[in-house]
Amino acid sequence: MIAGLYFLLAGRLVYLQAARHAYFQKEAENYRVSHHLLPAMRGQILDRNGNVLAMDDTSAWAIYADPLEVGDAAGTAQALAPLLGLDPARLQALLTPRSSKNHYASLKRHVDDAIGRRVKALNLQGIGVIPDTRRLYPNGPLAAQVLGFTNSDGDGIEGVERSQDDQLRGQDGLVVAEVDRKGRFIPGTERPGHTPQNGRDLVLTLDKTLQNVADTELARAVRDHHARNGVAIVLDPRTGEILALSNAPGYDPNAPRPAGRLDAARAAALEARRRDHAVADLYEPGSTLKTITASAVLQEQGLGMMDKYVYCSPTLQIGRHAIHEAADALTKNLGSQNLRGVLRVSSNVGMAQFGLGLGADRLYKYEQKFGFLDKPGSGLPGEQKSWLQSPDEFNRFTESTGWAKIQLANISFGQGISVTPLQLAAAYAAIANGGTLMRPHILHAVRDSDRETPVAPEPVRRVVTPEVAAKVRSMLGTVVQGGTGQPAQIAGYSVGGKTGSAQVAGAHGYESGHFVASFVGLYPLSHPRLVIMCAVFEPQGIHWGASVAAPVVHNIAKAAMLALHVPPDAPEEVDWDDHLKERYRSQWDARHRMARRT
């Protein structure tokens, strides 16, 4: 019998040691060895001068509760609610256990260091405080639509955070080591795990100073003109680098979503504020597109076209349709104008005649060559492209192939075609740099630990010859010198540019009283360093590009020339502000003299 018992015991031992060896080894391993996840840091986003635009803040705290451990849910909720900024009733509901397995309820994440410490000091039963990481945008709303934001788990949701998420996101590390009774690692027992790989830092092409100026000036214009929204872009035409890209109204990416529930209207308004209208919204550019048509005319028909004059009557009848000059030009006799004159006075009728002479195929070719039919590929999410139909395709409205004559005339002066503000700025940059379309881009370099990989400028294609580009630039200079673009003049620098005041197309044709006021300027015109574009959507009251958008470009350009230390090239040039002062002074003097006489 004793032998039998020994036999049973031996059998049990064999069973435990041999048959269930793996199980017990695993159990022992679990008890003694701990796997600790080391979260990787998300890469920083910097401007071209190394200023931090977005970074991880590790000083934050996460507050959580074990509802089964919380004794007094009501009392705990009352104590925590003012600190966490939460509704006490909602908090109490979170603290009340829903089941016997309800051991975890997240109360609030990304809490400030001071508040986290205060919650810790309360020493509430069942309430835990653990370190947390949050994304910090130290400049608040600066370039918010470009940067975007992340969700609470650190995933990119909008902007560069979204489009470059793969580069910014790191790879979490793992530490495997034996732990003591209190769960602390025993030194020397670490096993090979893997170290966390932090995400790559992104150096953007943005310049914080210029971005701030653009944000400030654009926000002021949108506010002053009670506009729906606005866009401003500062582009380096030599490289295609986006130095500033501003949207107004903006938002603070540190708090992209206000607390509480949003109704549909507020959610839509919030969505519109987060949207990068510069790349994601198509609009009819109006007169700013006349520059493209003029470039196409000179490139296709030769520089001799500068000697061709057309008569700019107030209206031009094309079949059943009539093309009108802009309202302020209707009362004036624009007379005969060559291409330079047509641009200077921004004549729709004049440009329509040049466009008709060029033909649909050739105009379409240049819309394509200037990049309106392709997504710019800037590295920003949500890019759009023009949906202009080729003249070769069947047109279901005219029930024939090719563009209708009125369509060709309209497209010549920027109606009936939609572009994004970034596409238009890039097209002007091609004219500014001598005729090469450069890919506009937002990434300047990628930093991986100590190594920095620069992003090379990418020429897309040659669009026009340097001679044609120079001629178009000189015409743009005329527009600012004596045409509609005078408010863009700044002291000491030659300036070129073009205004645009386009009607907004709706579901049933153009909407009355809805305009897009825009201006694109080249600074300095003799050797352009910057292309500055501004579009203000649906300003109330005055809606001319010269009155609404050109002053924004003027103010940005003044600050930019100083910030970038661009040497002045035209000392005789007078600032438009001084023109205005002089004009007001002479008007005031005249009125004063009249008053004295009477």
Partner 1 sequence: MLETRMSPVSTPPRSVSRAAAPRPALTVPSHTRESAARALPSARPVERRTGRSRMPRSEARLLAFAIAGTALMCAVLVVYLAAYAHVSQLGLEQTRARAQLRQARQENELLQAQRALLQSPARIIAAAQKLGMTTGAQRVTYIDARDTAARTADGGSGDGQNFQGTNGGTSADGDAAAAFHH
Single-letter amino acid code for the residue at 8: L
Smallest gap from Cβ 478 to partner 1, in A, equals: 20
> Taking CB under 8 A as the rule, does residue 572 contact partner 1?
yes
- The site string for partner 1 over 174-193 (x = CB under 8 A, - otherwise) reads -----------x-xx-----
Query: Does 569 engage in binding with partner 1 (CB under 8 A)?
Result: yes
Residue 490 interacting with partner 1 (CB under 8 A): yes
Minimum Å gap between C-beta 211 and partner 1 is: 8
Pick one of 66, 69, 224, 575: the residue that binds partner 1 (CB under 8 A). Answer: 575
Q: Does 571 bind partner 1 (CB under 8 A)?
A: yes
CA distance linking residue 520 with residue 247, whole number of Å: 16
Position 140 contacts partner 1 (CB under 8 A):
yes
Task: Round to whole Å and give the CA distance between 468 and 476.
Answer: 12
Element (H, E) at 307: none
Q: How far is the CB of 573 from partner 1 (least distance, A)?
A: 7
Q: Considering the complex, what minimum distance in angstroms separates the CB of residue 290 from partner 1?
A: 30
Exposure letters 317-329 (e unless 16+ CB within 10 A, then b): ebeeeebebbeeb
Of 109 and 462, which has the nearer Cβ to partner 1?
Answer: 109
Does residue 84 interact with partner 1 by CB under 8 A? no
**366, 344 contact by CB (below 8 A):** no
Among 33, 55, 303, 505, interactor with partner 1 by CB under 8 A: 55
Q: Kindly identify the residues of this chain, within the stretch 35-54, that bind partner 1 according to CB under 8 A.
A: 51-52
Contact between 136 and partner 1 by CB under 8 A: the answer reads yes
Least gap, CB of 492 to partner 1 (angstroms): 4
Q: What b-and-e string marks burial along 349-384, b requiring 16 or more CB atoms within 10 Å of the CB?
A: bbbbbbbbebbbebbbbbbbbbbbbeebebbbbbbb
- Shortest reach from residue 577's CB to partner 1, in Å: 9
Among 59, 400, 401, 453, binds partner 1 (CB under 8 A): 59
Q: Within 10 A of 127 (CB to CB), how many other CB atoms are there?
A: 20
Indicate the SS3 state at residue 35.
Answer: strand
Among 76, 92, 139, 295, which residue sits at the site for partner 1 (rule: CB under 8 A)? 139
Does residue 101 sit in helix, strand or coil? coil
Q: Cα–Cα distance between 228 and 248 in angstroms, integer? A: 9
Residue 558 interacts with partner 1 (CB under 8 A): yes or no: yes
Q: Token match 């926000």: residue?
A: 219
Cα separation of 81 and 581, whole Å? 57
Longest Cα–Cα distance of the chain, Å, equals: 140
457 binds partner 1 per the rule CB under 8 A:
no
- Find the helix or strand (DSSP H, E) in which 6 lies: helix 2-14
- 510 is a site residue for partner 1 (CB under 8 A): no
Among 562, 585, 586, 592, binds partner 1 (CB under 8 A): 562
**Contact between residue 439 and residue 378 where contact means Cβ atoms under 8 Å apart:** yes
Q: Could you tell me the smallest distance in angstroms from the CB atom of residue 213 to partner 1? A: 9
Q: Which residue from 567, 589, 590, 591 is in contact with partner 1, where contact means CB under 8 A?
A: 567
Binding partner 1 (rule: CB under 8 A), the pick from 42, 43, 56, 499 is 56
The CB-based long-range contact list for 464-468 (8 Å cut-off, 24+ gap) reads 464/295, 464/298, 464/299, 464/430, 464/431, 464/435, 465/299, 465/435, 466/434, 466/435, 467/303, 468/295, 468/298, 468/299, 468/303, 468/435
Q: What are phi and psi of 478, to 5 degrees?
A: -65, -35
Q: Tokens 């940059």 map to which residue? A: 429
| Of 138 and 454, CB closest to partner 1 | 138
Q: Applying CB under 8 A, what is the total number of residues that bind partner 1? A: 38
- Tokens describing residue 418: 């939609």
**Could you tell me which stretch among 138-146, 242-250, 283-291, 308-316 binds partner 1 (CB under 8 A)?**
138-146
Q: Which is nearer to partner 1, 55 or 505 (CB)?
A: 55
Q: Residue 232 carries which side chain, given as an amino acid letter?
A: A
Tell me whether residue 185 or residue 510 sits nearer to partner 1 (CB atom): 185
Instruction: Identify which of residues 167 and 209 has a Cβ nearer to partner 1 in the complex.
Output: 209
Give the chain's length: 598
CB 182 within 8 A of CB 422: no
The answer to whether 570 contacts partner 1 (rule: CB under 8 A) is yes
Contact letters for partner 1, residues 203-222 (x by CB under 8 A)? -----xx--x----------
Residue 416: CB minimum distance to partner 1, A: 39
Instruction: Say which residue the tokens 């048509």 belong to.
Output: 293
**Dihedral angle of Cα 72, 77, 83, 87, to the nearest 10 degrees:** 180
| Contact pick of 115, 491, 504, 505 for partner 1 (by CB under 8 A) | 491
Stretch that binds partner 1, among 145-153, 154-162, 267-275, 563-571 (CB under 8 A): 563-571
Q: Does 57 bind partner 1 (CB under 8 A)?
A: yes
The residue among 180 and 511 lying less far from partner 1, judged by its C-beta, is: 180
From residue 578 to residue 597, the character string flagging contacts with partner 1 as x (rule: CB under 8 A) and all else as - is x-------------------
Helix 290-301 and helix 348-358: axis angle, to 10°? 40
Q: Which residues contact partner 1 by CB under 8 A?
A: 51-52, 55-59, 136, 138-142, 185, 187-188, 208-209, 212, 490-492, 558-559, 561-562, 565-575, 578
